[in-house]
Structure 1
Amino acid sequence: MTVKDISKILEELAPLAHAEDFDNVGLLVGDQKMTVSGILVTLDTLENVVDEAISKKCNLIVSFHPIIFSGLKKLTGSNYVQRVVMKAIANNIAIYSMHTALDNSKNGVNAKICEVLGVQNPHILIPKAGTIKKLTTYAPIKEAETIKSALFKAGAGEIGNYSNCSFSLEGQGTFLAGNEANPSIGKIGAVHTEKETQINVIFSFEKEAAILSALFDAHSYEEVAYEISVLQNVNQDIGMGMIGMLKTEMDEVEFLQHVKKKMNASVVRHSELLGKKVKKVAVLGGSGAFAISAAKKAKADIFITADLKYHQFFEAEKQLVLADIGHFETEQFTKDLLVDYLTKKIPNFAVSLSKSKTNPIKYL
């Protein structure tokens, strides 16, 4: 398998188009045509991780965090980022980053936190806006089913656990073919009226190119009439954070102790305890202060995240408990998620979980 093949498999879990605009995801170092001898999965790509990849004969590192976040203007080894990139290049090792593409996946970072904590039936806390689009097109009635099938095959018409979703109307279309036209029906210079079906399907925004290609390939018209609009519908499959319910409610202290144990957290920083039972839990791996208002709006009893600043704890406002368990701690099980996913997708392939320590924060 090549780096490109592995990339396609990873994008099935976390399409790069789902990443935040500020992020740097995908293949950061290496040649996509290179044959992969082994994959090392890590949270961060540091020099010790590259050394581990060399020792395990893995020439592709799949990393959650991107080692290159902003542009590199030189490669002189003057900082840790440059040294990592130089060592990877020198040893012909490719580096692929997932980061916010996986954060926004319904089966990604936050789903894994919910699994570890026993949060059941989780759904996305902050759906990503503008990610659902609608295609409206027109076709001769006799071609409608063929065209819909092509659109469905390309990924259109998927809503939650349902597929092949569409809405159709029948009517009449007219056109006048000019002298340079090559019409499949009708005649040049004569107004043609055709009984047509209006086809409406929704799709996830990253599939637009594939869906239009399928439409043009399946349609008989020389000029295909279509329109695409962006919907404001909530996308239940893409977004930050998750919220769900505990099977059995717990006291606040009991639940925080549960979190500390399950997430291997050395310290739990939290806002004022409210003396209430914890049943509804919101989570967001990494820096999650921006989601405090969403957790409150969703009536969460507690919000588990990281990197909260002093004044942000005041935002709890006695509506919920905010708990900061550490950036590394919230994302550490992402490695296990990716190893399990890749092992199922490509069994009998060398996929290794990195044993290198990359947490830069130590506790006394």
Structure 2
Amino acid sequence: MKVKEIIAILEELSPLAYSEGFDNTGLLVGDANADVSGILVTLDTLEEVVDEAIQKKCNLIVSFHPIIFSGLKKITGKTYVERVVMKAIKHDIAIFSNHTALDNSWNGVNAMICEKLGLKNRKILIPQKDAIQKLVTFVPTKDAEKVRNALFTAGAGNIGNYENCSFNIPGSGSFKGNDASNPVIGEKGKIHFEAETQIGITFAKHLQSNILKALFETHPYEEVAYEISTLENQNQHLGMGMIGEFEKPMKEQDFLEFIKKTMNTDCVRHSALLKKHIKKVAVLGGSGSFAIDAAKSVGADAFISSDLKYHDFFKAENTILLADIGHYESEQYTKALLHSFLKKKITNFAVLLSQTNTNPISYL
């Protein structure tokens, strides 16, 4: 398989179209057309990880965090980022990252936290905006079923637990081809009226190219009339953070001890105890201070994240228990998620889980 084929598989789990604007996801180093000899999955790409890839004969590193986050003006080996890039290029090793695309995935980073904690009734904490698009097209009525089914096959028309959803309006379309036209129906130079069906159908924005390909391949007209708009509707299975519930409420102290043990962290920094039980919990892997208000607005009893600053803890305002478990600790199970996903999808060569501990923080 080629690098680009592995990337296509990974996009089934976390389409890059849903990466945050500030992020740098995708193929960061290497040739998309290169043949893959083996895959090494890691949370971070450090020099030790590249050395591990060399030793294990893996020429593709799938890294949750991007090694290149901002632009590189020089590559001289003075920083760890530059040294990683230089060594990867020297040994023909490609590096791919899906970072916030996986953060936003329904089965991504935050789903793993919920699974480890045993949280049920999961929902997205902050749904991503502008993720749903709508196609409106006009098709001769006799061809409407064929076009509609092709759009369904391409992934359009899925709404929550329902599929093959569309809205269809009968009407009459008119057109007149010029001297350069080659009309399938009617005659050039003469106005023609045709019984048509207006098809309205929604789809996830990352599917746009597939949807248009299906439309153009099945629509009978020489010129296809269509409109695409972005909807304000929220995709309830896409976005940052998750909310879930314990089957049985916990006392606050028991809750803190539980997450310390379950998330394998040496330190839990938390806001003031509120003398109430914890049942509804919001989680967000990585730096999550921006989601504190969202967690409060959904009535969460506690919010688990990392990288909370001194003043962030004041935002609890005696309404929620904030728990900072550490950045690495909140995302530590992510590489196992990626490894398991790829192992199920690819069986003809090695997909290895990196044994390098990339956590840069130690506790005394």
**Same fold per TM (> 0.5)?**
yes
230-239 or 137-146: bigger deviation: 230-239
Could you tell me whether the CA contact under 8 Å between 1:301 and 1:321 is conserved in 2? Answer: yes
Tell me the residue number matched to 1:198: 198
Tell me the residue number matched to 1:185: 185
Distance 2:231 2:145 in 1: 24
Tell me the residue number matched to 1:66: 66
Superimposed CA distance per residue, residues 30-89 of structure 1 (whole angstroms, 9 cap, x where no aligned partner): 111111111111100001111111111111110000001111122111110011111111
Q: Secondary structure at the match of 1:322?
A: strand
Alignment of 1:62-211 (within 5 A): 62-211=62-211
Distance 2:117 2:181 in 1: 63
Distance 1:98 1:183 in 2: 45
Q: Secondary structure at the match of 1:37?
A: coil
Q: Secondary structure at the match of 2:170?
A: strand
Alignment of 1:193-272 (within 5 A): 193-272=193-272
Matched AA of 1:140: P
Distance 2:108 2:305 in 1: 15
Superimposed CA distance per residue, residues 134-178 of structure 1 (whole angstroms, 9 cap, x where no aligned partner): 111110111001001111122111122322111111111112222
Question: Any unmatched runs of 5+ in structure 2?
Answer: none
Identical positions, percent: 64
Superimposed CA distance per residue, residues 224-243 of structure 1 (whole angstroms, 9 cap, x where no aligned partner): 11111111111112110000
Distance 2:180 2:57 in 1: 60
Superimposed CA distance per residue, residues 275-294 of structure 1 (whole angstroms, 9 cap, x where no aligned partner): 11111110000000111111
Matched AA of 1:132: I
Superimposed CA distance per residue, residues 93-129 of structure 1 (whole angstroms, 9 cap, x where no aligned partner): 1111110010010000000000011111211110000
Superimposed CA distance per residue, residues 267-308 of structure 1 (whole angstroms, 9 cap, x where no aligned partner): 001111111111111000000011111101111110000000
Matched AA of 1:158: N
Distance 1:36 1:161 in 2: 37
175-184 or 307-316: bigger deviation: 175-184
* TM-score, normalised by the number of residues in structure 2: 0.98
Distance 2:180 2:53 in 1: 60
Superimposed CA distance per residue, residues 220-270 of structure 1 (whole angstroms, 9 cap, x where no aligned partner): 111111111111111112110000111111111111111010101110011
Distance 1:35 1:258 in 2: 45
Tell me the residue number matched to 1:28: 28
Distance 2:161 2:19 in 1: 23
Question: Any unmatched runs of 5+ in structure 1?
Answer: none
Could you tell me whether the CA contact under 8 Å between 1:343 and 1:349 is conserved in 2? Answer: no
Alignment of 1:305-324 (within 5 A): 305-324=305-324
Aligned residues: 364
Superimposed CA distance per residue, residues 306-332 of structure 1 (whole angstroms, 9 cap, x where no aligned partner): 000111111111111111000000000
1:347 CA displacement: 2.4
Distance 1:326 1:153 in 2: 43
1:188 CA displacement: 2.0
Distance 1:36 1:179 in 2: 52
Could you tell me whether the CA contact under 8 Å between 1:272 and 1:321 is conserved in 2? Answer: yes
208-217 or 131-140: bigger deviation: 208-217
Distance 2:252 2:347 in 1: 42
Distance 1:280 1:18 in 2: 27
Could you tell me whether the CA contact under 8 Å between 1:271 and 1:321 is conserved in 2? Answer: yes
* TM-score, normalised by the number of residues in structure 1: 0.98
Alpha-carbon RMSD across the aligned residues, in angstroms, is 1.0
Tell me the residue number matched to 2:289: 289
1:24 CA displacement: 0.7
1:348 CA displacement: 4.5
Tell me the residue number matched to 1:300: 300
Runs of 4+ in 1 over 4 A off after TM superposition: none
Matched AA of 2:253: V
Matched AA of 2:275: G
Q: Secondary structure at the match of 1:85?
A: helix
Distance 2:229 2:33 in 1: 36
Distance 1:348 1:253 in 2: 48
Distance 1:236 1:257 in 2: 31
Tell me the residue number matched to 1:40: 40
Distance 1:110 1:339 in 2: 16
Matched AA of 2:66: P
Q: Secondary structure at the match of 2:355?
A: coil
176-185 or 116-125: bigger deviation: 176-185
Q: Secondary structure at the match of 1:52?
A: helix
Superimposed CA distance per residue, residues 9-44 of structure 1 (whole angstroms, 9 cap, x where no aligned partner): 101101111101111111111111111111111100
